[in-house]
Structure 1
């Protein structure tokens, strides 16, 4: 299936070059990548032009699924980006739970928190 593009590839490349020069934060990258995705470009194309893997593009877009408190926590550096992505994959109630547990210091490290988020997601998928 061919995707209809809202503007040309050279325009997309120019936008991405400007964004790269500005060193966008992860959520701003996600917003940009979502716009380009919705404009008809694939994650593979966006990644190639931005110098990242297609999975990086997908992860940044999925990071936008964080509830507002989660987005703020990532932007302010209170939640690591990778953990934020795992939390973004959860429903709203479980996002609140994970954010509260992280803020309280309930986890030994970020890996334990990621594993917890992954387990919650797996449990909710099989329910």
Structure 2
């Protein structure tokens, strides 16, 4: 599982009204632009694990950069090549939507690229 190397681990917590997430660790390291209310309603994206690695690099090495630029926190569940990955996007709703759309477009790009390269017999 790849999580941000810069931010804390997010833990899912059950509530009467549903689920929300809390940050574990030292809260002084949380960026000033990230507020705890953003942990209540993450946007969820499901992708094939190979797409997550293609977008964010091995072990999610590019995730901290994406988080910093987009002012969101990304949490990837099931980081292994055999299964689908679930990406949780935390942040302001309009930023969540922007990152969701960015991930969707990148997924389409990498799927098309993989298809073109496989028809040519090249390695992806």
- Same fold flag (TM > 0.5): no
Structure with greater helix share of residues: 1
> TM-score, normalised on structure 1?
0.28
Q: Which structure exhibits the higher relative contact order, with contacts defined as CA atoms closer than 8 Å and separated by 6 or more residues?
A: 2
> TM-score, normalised on structure 2?
0.28
Rg larger in structure: 1
Structure with greater strand share of residues: 2
